[in-house]
Structure 1
Amino acid sequence: MTTAFASPSTYVQGKDLLKTASKYIKPFGDHGILLTDDIVWGLVGQRFYDYLTKGGLKIEHVQFGGESSPEEIDRIKEIAAKSDAQFVISLGGGKTNDTTKAVGDQLKIPIIITPTLASNDSPCTRLSVLYSEDGSFLKYLFYDKNPDLVLVDTSVIAGAPVKFLIDGIADALSTNVEAQSVRRARETTLLPLQTQQTEAGLALAERCEALLFHYADQAVAAAGDHTVTPALDHIVEANTLLSGVGAESSGLAAAHSFQNGLTALSGDVHKLSHGQKVAFGTLLNLVLEGASDERLVRFLTFEHRFGLPTTLKDLHLENASEDDLRKVAELTTQDGETIHNMGFKVTADDVLEGIKAVDAFSRSYFG
């Protein structure tokens, strides 16, 4: 058995971290580009730029176009190459991060990720999701290494609408559920190395889940008041570092395949975030593996408390036909999907029945 573990070279988290970020970046060089969209630039980007330049760095601000597309990657890569950038910094959300990773990888320069939200675990992973310029999914890009530096300013995270933190909690909640499925099946992980889990990767996934159940209520309350507390620190770390590294080094299973399967449909379901869709997928993962009532209820009530989808109605699919749900089930189980890491054969019929079972159990439990 060959195992592997991967993570960012350095992860730094703290309140008002942007003010002192230059000292963490200087080891990579004295000049680079800062990629951020117009909204983030207005909220925090200008201040971050000023902190970096006052800290002795030469920074070129590059406006992100909004889509992590091959065309956008090529455009930014050309700018970075012309300026002989020694590093590339992302300040923003998932698509900004993904574009920055691609640029850094292709130019072979250090990648620095500075997330403004704790809504997903993309800052720490060695992959990007690519889309066409019109927003259609294209493919995943896998890299030889994770980002060189991840800087998480918890005051910036706390300043964002609390719904984004809840999205991250929903995504992180799937990490250990899927990791345990992969462990039982002895399947390979998300790393592009065809390797199995290390105990370290599995431990991070388990710790991620523990922090969510211990501190999520406090953290959501604090974030709703735009306040940084120890509980918020724990949840930001769980959403960003533990979920990202834990999932990548421990593997995915049914929860994320269900999220992918939903792309078989159009409509209001796609107004939901990645984390919201994965939340229902986590319950589906539990049902498919035959979780006990006690275990299923633990996750169900946790999700319901934060307003996450636990029924078809919550997914805006209460009027979906049997054929529509079967399309989701068929796409969820297509070749190459991580649902096949469950350790037993999972068919489209199994998924269809599982979706109905989650919906029925949730409706029955909450009356």
Structure 2
Amino acid sequence: MIVFGAPRRYVQGPGVLSRIGQELAVIGKSAVLIADSRVLEICGATIRDSAAAEGVGLTIIPFGGEITYDEIARIVARIGSDRPQVVIGAGGGKTIDTGKIVARDTGAAFVSVPTVASNDSPTSHIAVVYDADHKLVGVEENKGNPELVLVDTDVIIKAPLELLSAGVGDALVKVFEVEQCIGAGGENVFGAASPRTALALARACYDTVRENLTEAYKAHAAGTPNAAFEALVEASVLMSGLAFESGGLSVSHGMTRGLSAVPGVANALHGHQVAYGLLVQLELENRDASFMDDMRAFYRDAQLPLKLSQLGADQASNSVVQTIADVSAEAAHMKKFNRAIGASDIAAAIERIEAA
């Protein structure tokens, strides 16, 4: 059995936030907007005015800043018995993932409005939950993918380049993970076999990122979206999300377990963590020197981390490497690889990366 999942509708482009009311009105007439104070400054008024123009009632609930089970419970309690038809999560991955589970727990449809392109959370149905110290503690599922993903590239382009580079990292890894997952006969996020469509999207995602990075980064510096920037955002948000959920994950994402266990590294952006995880995966795949040289050159252009120190580690000591390896080795995604790998394999791969 194969399963392919996707949002019901994806809308991207400059200025599309102003039409969110029209999109919401098709889904429901009452909505809750979850966003932090910074995001509310950026797009709160536009969402409120557009919703009002279409007769959609909107309640705003400020986001506390971290996706924890306590924060989800707080927002659900704040909503109370007056359940909305729609929950909107606006902002980065933490806010959006919080919105998914609030929507699930209140029986509402979910709409994601990313203000950064730092990862592919906006299109998916899963949410990664952390504790107050940003240690990964659980993965939850909404009842389905978002009803709507609305991506205003006039907003996205104003976010720091560091966030865009994280999105590049998250997108870059997918083809390697999907290929490994399929090759190992692993299941995708839906607990089924991966359709060919997911692999095709993963390959297109990789090609799009490699081909458009330079011109997209130039557009970011200029502050005006161009065709390359639109393509890079689509790859980072849409293609990457569809590829990972329906295609499956492997070592690159399995590494986030161990990386999140190291102080400093735990606070690195998800896309930067998995980009480092890809280097580990490629070492485990025994990629040749020319391939690794090409990948490292791209990492430098994309401003992706090549060393643990660039992720925030004080040092790549033996104990740090062993902690990362031991914790990562227990991740379920590590089994979706073409051979059995253990902590010693992972530690050796990290040591080769650090020595390069």
* CA RMSD between the two structures: 1.7
- Report the counterpart of residue 293 of structure 1 in structure 2: 289
Taking structure 1 as reference, are residues 88 and 271 closer, same or farther at Cα in structure 2, changes over 3 Å only? closer
- Report the counterpart of residue 243 of structure 1 in structure 2: 240
Q: Is the 8 A contact 1:111 1:148 kept in 2?
A: yes
How many residues align? The count is 356
Q: Which stretch has the larger CA shift, 68-77 or 316-325?
A: 316-325
Residue identity opposite 1:235 in structure 2? L
Q: Name the CA distance, whole Å, in 1 between partners of 2:341 and 2:60.
A: 48
- Report the counterpart of residue 157 of structure 2 in structure 1: 158
Q: CA deviation at 1:318?
A: 6.9
- Report the counterpart of residue 347 of structure 1 in structure 2: 342
Q: Identity of counterpart residues, as a percentage?
A: 31
Q: Name the CA distance, whole Å, in 1 between partners of 2:319 and 2:62.
A: 43
User: Are positions 1:326 and 2:292 aligned together?
Assistant: no
Q: Is the 8 A contact 2:87 2:99 kept in 1?
A: yes
- Report the counterpart of residue 215 of structure 1 in structure 2: 212
Q: Name the CA distance, whole Å, in 1 between partners of 2:83 and 2:318.
A: 56
Q: CA deviation at 1:337?
A: 2.7
Q: Name the CA distance, whole Å, in 2 between partners of 1:346 and 1:128.
A: 27
SS in 1 for 2:286: coil
- Report the counterpart of residue 40 of structure 1 in structure 2: 39
- Report the counterpart of residue 122 of structure 2 in structure 1: 123
- Report the counterpart of residue 359 of structure 1 in structure 2: 354
Q: CA deviation at 1:96?
A: 0.9
- Report the counterpart of residue 305 of structure 2 in structure 1: 309
Q: Is the 8 A contact 2:326 2:343 kept in 1?
A: yes
- Report the counterpart of residue 365 of structure 1 in structure 2: none
Q: Is the 8 A contact 1:118 1:157 kept in 2?
A: yes
Taking structure 1 as reference, are residues 63 and 315 closer, same or farther at Cα in structure 2, changes over 3 Å only? closer
Structure 2 counterparts to residues 1-367 of structure 1, below 5 A: 2-133=1-132, 135-191=134-190, 194-266=191-263, 268-317=264-313, 319-334=315-330, 336-361=331-356
Q: Name the CA distance, whole Å, in 2 between partners of 1:45 and 1:349.
A: 49
Q: Name the CA distance, whole Å, in 1 between partners of 2:260 and 2:57.
A: 42
Taking structure 1 as reference, are residues 33 and 299 closer, same or farther at Cα in structure 2, changes over 3 Å only? same
Q: CA deviation at 1:248?
A: 1.1
Taking structure 1 as reference, are residues 179 and 140 closer, same or farther at Cα in structure 2, changes over 3 Å only? same
> Runs of 5+ in structure 1 lacking a partner?
362-367
SS in 1 for 2:138: strand
Q: Is the 8 A contact 1:166 1:220 kept in 2?
A: no
Q: Name the CA distance, whole Å, in 1 between partners of 2:260 and 2:83.
A: 40
SS in 2 for 1:300: helix
Q: Is the 8 A contact 1:329 1:351 kept in 2?
A: yes
Q: CA deviation at 1:276?
A: 1.5
SS in 2 for 1:189: coil
**Alignment TM-score, normalising by the size of structure 2:** 0.95
Q: Name the CA distance, whole Å, in 2 between partners of 1:316 and 1:55.
A: 46
Q: Is the 8 A contact 1:68 1:99 kept in 2?
A: yes
Q: Which stretch has the larger CA shift, 70-79 or 302-311?
A: 70-79
Taking structure 1 as reference, are residues 332 and 136 closer, same or farther at Cα in structure 2, changes over 3 Å only? closer
Q: Is the 8 A contact 2:25 2:54 kept in 1?
A: no
Taking structure 1 as reference, are residues 13 and 202 closer, same or farther at Cα in structure 2, changes over 3 Å only? same
Q: Is the 8 A contact 1:175 1:247 kept in 2?
A: yes
SS in 1 for 2:101: helix
